[in-house]
Amino acid sequence: MNLLEVLDVDLIDLDMDVSTKDEAIRALAGMLDKKGNLNDVNGFIDAVYERESIGETGMGNSIAIPHGLTNAVAKASVAICKTKQPIEWESLDDQPVRLVFLLAMPNDNLQNTHLRMLAQLAAVLAYKEHIDSLMDCKTNEEFFNLFKSYFDERVNN
């Protein structure tokens, strides 16, 4: 399974009105829950915070990749948002975050799947040009297709 297989054009919000990290995580988890991808939204949020407590998920360049690996997840998925304003997030560059990718992975002994998806996401988001262009996208479809083209270029090669 790769990241593109779980990317869902309905799980993108390019104009999210949140002002804190907690609001962003809860809103993204809510999107996953509404889609039926979670068994237990609160259990999932707990797992995300457990991971946050180990170390920063802000990768620098306005990007954060929080994630939860737990049985509270029914279906591997990723919810994406661009926030209306920068939000505080523990980051490598100590700068706030605009673009958040929340990964939800079932804890079914496929931990390597989870790692591979994080790795694939990191490979696409390592480039500032990619991030800048993704931030400029106006529609979910545009974002989805651009992400897919970067993925093909960076990961499938």
Partner 1 sequence: MNIIGITSCTCGIAHTYMAREKLIETGKKLGWSVKIETQGSGGIEYPLTAEDIQNADCVILATDVAVSGTERFKGKPVVKVPVSVAIKSPEHLLKQIEQKLNK
Binding residues vs partner 1 (CB under 8 A) = 51, 54-55, 57, 59-60, 65, 67, 92-93, 111-112, 115-116, 118-119, 121-123, 125-127, 154
Residue 54 or 138 with smaller CB distance to partner 1: 54
Question: In sequence order, which residues have a C-beta less than 8 Å from that of residue 48 and are 6 or more positions away?
Answer: 25, 29, 66, 67, 68, 102
CA distance 87 to 98: 7
CB of 22 to partner 1, least distance (A): 20
CB of 69 to partner 1, least distance (A): 10
Pull the structure tokens for residue 90. Answer: 């523990």
Residue 94: how many other CB atoms lie within 10 Å: 10
CB of 142 to partner 1, least distance (A): 24
CB of 68 to partner 1, least distance (A): 12
Residue 1 or 119 with smaller CB distance to partner 1: 119
SS3 labels along 111-125: HHHHHHHHHHHHHHH
Residue 20 or 111 with smaller CB distance to partner 1: 111
**Which residue has tokens 């990964």?**
103
